[in-house]
């Protein structure tokens, strides 16, 4: 199995994964942390986080016969994207999380993992496996940590000592008794930069994020009105938030992606808010085709941009843009437009 493990690593590199590791399926401590987090309601409206019970933290309950997990990571930081820190200082433009600027990673990574599984099968014959990329209840960061891909930082993202945190994760659950890798050690030390920089103070303690305050949750997962007290803190962030990663010292070692599909599309790395707000639903669907952004839907897209326009400096053009949606069919969009207009009127 040692020789097979090394072949799998080599195949993984050939398929574009920057790192691959193997872990067992014992996640007891992580299960306790997850249950504590859920019991405090920090998951907000993400009901799916508790829907599957222990199957999330016990891989063999999700996929019978699982003995090991093959975890992979793939860098996604675009080479050609506008500088995000400068963009945060341009309130007339929208900020989209770097992971969502290019093609949706789910299909790309799933196809690569499926190819990897087929290579293993061609070498050893049929075996039990199942591929995952955010497609089922999987504690992917916990498994990746056990596989040596990095450690879970105080902001709850995985950090790699030589590659930072700008990467995606994927898994293959398998019944192969592969040798396991040494879990990664934690290297955050006394650093609290991610906690201090969070615009909404969503990182309420080291390693604990209250999703209900997180801008990524508010702009992507939440389907209702964004709490009014949090709207001014969102600035011009219209899809996700990367602030905690931007300040992480380990990201000085991050490397740009080698995947052309992850490079920015449709100018969304530095878009003008007024132009985005003028899109109709057909334009939204066209311009977000193949993108992770599409899954929030047009209504939430307008909601998010309305908040950003409300946080921008007052101008006739911004007020006119907001007024154009005052009578929009959606109650939620109208509410956020009125809030934004009141910000400018006051």
Please identify every residue annotated as catalytic: 134
Residue pair 234/219 in contact (Cβ under 8 Å)? The answer is yes
Q: With the CA atoms of 27, 32, 36 and 37 taken in that order, what torsion angle do they form, in degrees rounded to the nearest 10?
A: -10
- Residues 6 or more apart in contact with residue 344 via CB below 8 angstroms: 310, 314, 318, 319, 322
Q: With the CA atoms of 263, 19, 165 and 223 taken in that order, what torsion angle do they form, in degrees rounded to the nearest 10?
A: 70
Residue pair 95/87 in contact (Cβ under 8 Å)? The answer is yes
DSSP states along 288-334:
TTTSGGGGGHHHHHHHHHHHHHHHSPP-HHHHHHHHTTTT-S-HHHH
Q: Which is nearest to 50 in space by CA: 180, 197, 205, 211?
A: 211
β-bridge pairing 167-174 and 208-209 = unpaired
Contacts 24+ apart (CB under 8 A), 134-137: 134/106, 135/106, 135/110, 136/62, 137/48, 137/51, 137/52, 137/55, 137/56, 137/62
Specify the residue for token string 């994964």.
17
């Amino acid at each position: 199995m040692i020789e097979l493990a090394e072949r799998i690593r080599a195949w993984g590199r050939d398929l574009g994964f920057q790192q691959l590791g193997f872990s067992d399926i014992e996640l007891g401590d992580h299960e306790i942390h997850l249950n504590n987090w859920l019991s405090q309601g920090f998951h907000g409206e993400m009901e799916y986080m508790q829907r599957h019970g222990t199957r999330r933290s016990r891989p063999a309950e999700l996929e019978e016969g699982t003995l090991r997990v093959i975890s992979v990571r793939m860098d996604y930081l675009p080479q050609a994207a506008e500088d995000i820190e400068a963009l945060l200082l341009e309130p007339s433009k929208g900020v989209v999380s770097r992971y969502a600027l290019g093609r949706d990673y789910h299909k790309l990574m799933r196809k690569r993992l499926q190819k990897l599984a087929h290579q293993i099968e061609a070498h050893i014959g049929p075996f039990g496996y199942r591929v995952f990329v955010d497609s089922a209840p999987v504690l992917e960061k916990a498994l990746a940590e056990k596989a040596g891909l990095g450690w879970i930082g105080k902001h709850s993202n995985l950090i790699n000592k030589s590659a930072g945190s700008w990467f995606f994760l994927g898994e293959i659950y398998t019944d192969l008794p592969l040798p396991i890798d040494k879990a990664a050690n934690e290297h955050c030390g006394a650093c609290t930069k991610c906690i201090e920089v969070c615009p909404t103070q969503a990182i309420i303690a080291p390693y604990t994020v209250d999703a209900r305050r997180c801008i990524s949750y508010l702009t992507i997962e939440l389907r209702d009105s964004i709490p009014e007290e949090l709207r001014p803190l969102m600035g011009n962030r219209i899809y996700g938030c990367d602030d905690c990663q931007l300040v992480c010292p380990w990201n000085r070692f991050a490397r740009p992606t080698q995947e052309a599909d992850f490079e920015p599309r449709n100018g969304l790395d530095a878009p003008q808010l007024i132009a985005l707000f003028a899109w109709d639903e057909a334009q939204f669907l066209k311009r977000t085709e193949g993108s992770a952004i599409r899954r929030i839907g047009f209504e939430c897209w307008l909601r998010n941009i309305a908040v950003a326009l409300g946080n921008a400096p007052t101008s006739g053009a911004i007020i006119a843009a907001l007024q154009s949606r005052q009578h929009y069919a959606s109650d939620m969009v109208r509410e956020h437009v009125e809030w934004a207009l009141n910000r400018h009127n006051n």
